[in-house]
A and B are shown apart, each in its own frame.
Chain A
Amino acid sequence: MHTHLRGAMAVGAGAVAVALSLTGCSSGNTPASTSTSTSGAPTSSSTTSSAPSNGLSSSSSALTILFGSSGDAETKAMQDAATAWSATSGTQVTVTTAANMDQEMAQGFAGGKPADVFYLGTGVLAGYADAGNLLAYGDLMPNKADFYPSLVANFTYKGKFYCAPKDFSTLGLIINTDMWAAAGLTDADYPTTWEQLHAVAKRLTTGGVTGIIPGGQYERLGAFMVQNGSNLMSPDGTKVTAADQSNIDALAFVKTMLADGSMKFAADVSAGWGGEAFGTGKAAMTIEGNWITGAMNGDYKNIKWKAVPLPTGPSGKKGTLQFTNCWGIAAASPNQQAALKLVEFMTTKDQQMKFSQAFGVLPSIQSAAADYKAAYPNLSIFMDAVQYAQGVPTLKGSSDVLKELNNNLGQLATSDPATILNAAQTQLQALMK
C-alpha cells in the first residue's frame, strides 16, 4: 500500500513538476534575466518607471537583433553594422533574420525572452505597446529632433514616442523607359495629373503589355486617395475619413482605368507584386517604392527604368504613401542600456547611408537628406516625397481592416467603390472606441 502510494505520488509529482517547468519556461521575466540589473527595478516596469539613470536595465548580456530581411544585401549590411558596433562597444551582438517576423516575435514575448532589438512596423506598434512588450525609449534618443516629424508621429502611441525610426520608403511612378520611348513619349510627357496618367497608360497598352500594373491593395491605391486630398484616416489619426467623397472619387478613377484595360492589378497577371509585373515586362508602368531598386538591379537587370513623382489629383495636391519601420527594444530585454546605444549607432548618418547603399532605403534623419540626394540623384524623388507623403493607419487592429479592404480592392473592377469604403469606415470606426 505504502509503496504503491509512493509510486503513484512520484508519478503525480513528476507530472506536476513537468507541468510547472512547462509553464515556468515561459515566465522568463523572473530570475536570471534581471540578476545584474543596476536599476534594481524589474525590467517589465521600465516602460513606465522614471527611475534615476533613465530606468533602463543594464547587464553584460549579449544583444540579439531580429529582423525580416529583404535579402542577402540587407542581412549582410546588418551583420556588418552589428560587428562594427560590437568592436567599439565590447557588447556582443547576434543578428538573426526572421522567416516569419510576427510569429517569431509572438513566441519571444510569450517565452519572456524576445530579441532585444528588432524591426517594428507601424501596424504592430499599438498591439505590442498595449501588451507591455515595448520599451518606450524615443525621448532618450540624442538625435530625436533630427527624425522626420511624420515618422516620429508614426511611432508615437498614446503620447509616448516609442522607438527610433529606422528608415522609410515612399511610393513613386516607375516607368519602363524603352516602352516609353517606343510609344513615342518623351520626358515632357511624364504625367502630372490623373488625366495625363490615364492617357499615357492607354497609349502604352499594347498586346501583351498593360499601361500600368500596381498591386491591387490599399498600400498602393491609397496614394490616389492622398492625391485627392484625403486618406483612410485624418493625418493626426484622430478621425476616420475612409468614406469621404474624395476617396470614393479616387477609387472611381482607378476603376475607370481598370475598365478600359489601361490598368490591371498585379494579381490579375499572376504577378506577386507590381515590381514583378514591371520587371517581367508585363507592365509599362507601376506604382512602387524605392525598394524596387533591389529587384531591378538583381532580378530584372535588362529593364531600363526611371522613377518619377506620382501625379496630382483633381485637387492639384501631390500625394503618396510612406512606409516605415523603427528599431523596437523589448521591455523584457536584460540589457536595454546597450540596446539603446546600439540603436543610436544604427541611426547615425554614416550608418544610415550605408544601409541606403546596401538596400535602397531612405535615411530617417533630415540631416542625411542632402547626402542621400547627392549620392542617388535618380532616387531623389522618393526622398522629396516625404514632404507630402502620408502614413497608413496604425490603430490597433487596423491591419485586419486593411486586409479586408485589400480583399475588396482586389475586386474593384466589378464592385462599387462607395460600398468598399463604407465597410472600411465602419470597421475602422469600431477600432476607435
Chain B
Amino acid sequence: MKSASARSSSRTGGIRRGEVISGWLFTAPMLLIVGLFLVVPIGMALWVSVSDYSGRGSPFSGEFHFVGLTHYAEITSGGGLTERNFGIALRNSLWYTLLVVPTQTAISLMLAVLLNRQRLRGRGFFRTAFYFPSVTSSVAITVLWLFLFNATGAINAMLGWLHINGPNWFNNPQGLLHATLSGLGVNRAPNALARHTILGVSWWDWLAGPSWAMTALMLMAIFTTSGTFMLLFIAALQNLSPEVDEAAIVDGANGWQRFWQVTLPQVRPTIFTVVTLGVIGCWQVFDQVFTGTQGQPANTTLTPAYLAYNTAFGPNAQWGTAAAIGFVLFVIIILFNLGQRAMLTDRSDRAPRPHRVKVGTKGAAS
C-alpha cells in the first residue's frame, strides 16, 4: 500500500502531491473500515481454521499451534460424524439452491412483468403487497411458518378441503424424491447407490431431495425474496425503451413472443444479478434454521452456515472445524457464481443481436 502510492507520487511529481494525500485521506475511513471488519476477521478466521484454537482467549495468544489442514480433512474425509454432517448440510443446501433460485427468479420476473403493465389498476397496492414479505423480519416469518405448517395447522387444513392428507411438515425427514419413489413402490436403495458414499452420505441419500421441512423453508424463501427481486426486475423493465416493444408489435409478434424474444434478452443483466444474489442467499441460509428448526428433523434442514455456527458455539466448541466449514462454503459460493456467470454470459456473446444489445446495455445500467 505504501510503496504503490509512493511510486505514483514520485511519478506524478510535486504538483499533484496534494491530490494524492487527499486521495488517501478520503479513502482512509473506508480502508480502515474494510480492514477492521473484513480483512482482520477473515485473517483471524483463516488462522483459526488451521490452528488448534480451543476458544480460550485470543487465537493469536501464542498458546495455539499450526495444525495444517487437519480441520479441512476432518470435514472432507475420515468417515466421522463431522464429515457426515457436513455432507448432509451440503446436500440440503444443494437441493435448496437448485430449487429455490430458478423458482424465485421466475416468479419475481413474472410478478414484475404483470405489475409493469400500464393499464393495471391498483399497481401500487400490488407492488406493496408483494414486497411486504421482504421487509418483514425473517424471524417473525419463520414463527408464522411454524404455525402455518404445523401438522394440524392452516396449510394442512386447506389440503384437507381437497381431501389431501397433509404431511407432518416439520417432523418428516423423508426426502421428496424418496417419498415419490416409495409411492412408486421403491422403498430400498438399489445396491449401487447405497454402497457408495460421498462425504459420508450414500448416493441414495444425496438423491433424497429436500425433506418436507426443508420444502416448507424453501417456500418461505421464495415467498420472502421474490418481492425484492421483483423490484429489481421492475426497475429493469421500466428502463426498457417502449419503441423496441412497439417495433415488435408492428412486426406482428404476439405477447408471448415479445416476452421471450424481446423483453427477456434485454433484462438478462438483471437476471444475472438476481441469480447471483439468489445463489449467495441460498448458501447462507441461517436464521430460518436457527429460529425454526435447528436442523431438525433428522438434520434435513441443516445448512452449512448453521452447522458452522453450531460447531463453534455448540458444546464441543470446535472452532477450527467451524472456520474450515466457513471457508469451504466461501469457495463453494465462488464456484457457483463463476459457473453461473459462464452460463449466462456465454450465450449472449455467442448470439449478439445489435439493436437489442444496445438497448439492453442501457437497461443494464440499472
Report yes or no: A27 in contact with B21, Cβ–Cβ below 8 A: no
Q: From residue 160 to 196 of chain B, which have CB atoms closer than 8 A to chain A?
A: 168, 170-171, 173
Task: Given A4-B21, A8-B2, A26-B58, check contact A399 B81 (CB 8 Å).
Answer: no
Q: From residue 243 to 301 of chain B, which have CB atoms closer than 8 A to chain A?
A: 296-299
Cα A268 to Cα B6 in complex, Å, equals: 69
The interface bits of chain B over 21-59 (1 if a CB of A lies within 8 angstroms of the residue's CB, else 0) are 100110010011001100010001000000000111111
Q: B20 at the A/B interface (Cβ < 8 Å)?
A: yes
Cα A298 to Cα B298 in complex, Å, equals: 31
Q: A407 at the A/B interface (Cβ < 8 Å)?
A: yes
Contact residues in B for A5 (Cβ distance below 8 Å): 2, 6
Contact residues in A for B122 (Cβ distance below 8 Å): none
Report yes or no: A109 in contact with B20, Cβ–Cβ below 8 A: no
Q: A209 at the A/B interface (Cβ < 8 Å)?
A: no
Q: A315 at the A/B interface (Cβ < 8 Å)?
A: no
Report yes or no: A8 in contact with B5, Cβ–Cβ below 8 A: yes
Report the tally of A-B residue pairs with Cβ distances under 8 A.
145
Report yes or no: B56 in contact with A7, Cβ–Cβ below 8 A: no
Q: Is the interface of A mostly helix, strand, loop or mixed?
A: helix
Contact residues in A for B44 (Cβ distance below 8 Å): 23
Contact residues in A for B25 (Cβ distance below 8 Å): 7
Residue from A4, A15, A29, A131 in contact with B9 in the complex, judged by beta carbons closer than 8 Å? A4
The interface bits of chain B over 287-325 (1 if a CB of A lies within 8 angstroms of the residue's CB, else 0) are 000000000111100000000000011111100000000
* Closest B residue, CB atoms, query A25: B58
Task: Given A270-B152, A407-B299, check contact A1 B17 (CB 8 Å).
Answer: yes
Min CB distance B246 to A, Å, is: 55
Contact residues in B for A29 (Cβ distance below 8 Å): 57, 61
Residue from A22, A102, A410 in contact with B315 in the complex, judged by beta carbons closer than 8 Å? A102
Min CB distance A128 to B, Å, is: 8
User: Which of A26, A130, A401 lies at the interface centre, i.e. has the most chain B CB atoms within 10 A of its CB?
Assistant: A26
Q: B137 at the A/B interface (Cβ < 8 Å)?
A: no
Residue from A24, A109, A267 in contact with B55 in the complex, judged by beta carbons closer than 8 Å? A109
Contact residues in A for B55 (Cβ distance below 8 Å): 106, 109-110, 131, 133
Q: A90 at the A/B interface (Cβ < 8 Å)?
A: no
Q: A299 at the A/B interface (Cβ < 8 Å)?
A: no
Cα A268 to Cα B171 in complex, Å, equals: 7
Contact residues in B for A24 (Cβ distance below 8 Å): 58
Report yes or no: A127 in contact with B317, Cβ–Cβ below 8 A: yes
Contact residues in B for A227 (Cβ distance below 8 Å): none
Q: B150 at the A/B interface (Cβ < 8 Å)?
A: yes
Contact residues in A for B120 (Cβ distance below 8 Å): none
Report yes or no: B36 in contact with A267, Cβ–Cβ below 8 A: no
Task: Given A18-B35, A18-B36, check contact A8 B317 (CB 8 Å).
Answer: no
Q: B60 at the A/B interface (Cβ < 8 Å)?
A: yes
Report yes or no: B57 in contact with A410, Cβ–Cβ below 8 A: no
Min CB distance A331 to B, Å, is: 8
Q: B1 at the A/B interface (Cβ < 8 Å)?
A: yes
User: Which of B57, B61, B85 lies at the interface centre, i.e. has the most chain A CB atoms within 10 A of its CB?
Assistant: B57
Min CB distance A210 to B, Å, is: 13
* Closest B residue, CB atoms, query A331: B56
* Closest A residue, CB atoms, query B313: A103
Q: B136 at the A/B interface (Cβ < 8 Å)?
A: no
Report yes or no: B315 in contact with A399, Cβ–Cβ below 8 A: yes
Q: B80 at the A/B interface (Cβ < 8 Å)?
A: yes
Task: Given A15-B31, A124-B315, check contact A27 B58 (CB 8 Å).
Answer: yes
The interface bits of chain A over 16-39 (1 if a CB of B lies within 8 angstroms of the residue's CB, else 0) are 001100111011110000000000
Residue from B35, B56, B173 in contact with A411 in the complex, judged by beta carbons closer than 8 Å? B173
Residue from B24, B36, B316 in contact with A396 in the complex, judged by beta carbons closer than 8 Å? B316
> Can you spell out 29 A-B residue pairs with CB atoms less than 8 angstroms apart?
A1-B9, A4-B6, A8-B24, A11-B31, A11-B32, A15-B31, A19-B35, A23-B40, A24-B58, A26-B57, A27-B60, A127-B317, A128-B317, A131-B56, A133-B55, A267-B168, A268-B151, A269-B151, A270-B151, A332-B56, A332-B57, A399-B314, A399-B316, A400-B85, A400-B314, A407-B173, A408-B298, A410-B296, A411-B298
Q: A18-B35, A109-B317 are in contact. List 8 more A-B contacts (CB 8 A).
A: A12-B2, A15-B36, A27-B58, A29-B61, A109-B56, A268-B171, A270-B150, A399-B315
The 9 closest A-B pairs by CB, nearest first: A131-B54, A407-B298, A27-B58, A124-B315, A103-B313, A270-B151, A26-B58, A267-B171, A399-B315
Binding site for B on A (CB under 8 A): 1, 3-5, 7-9, 11-12, 14-15, 18-19, 22-24, 26-29, 100, 102-103, 106, 109-110, 112, 121, 123-124, 127-128, 130-133, 267-270, 332, 396-397, 399-401, 404, 407-408, 410-411, 427, 430
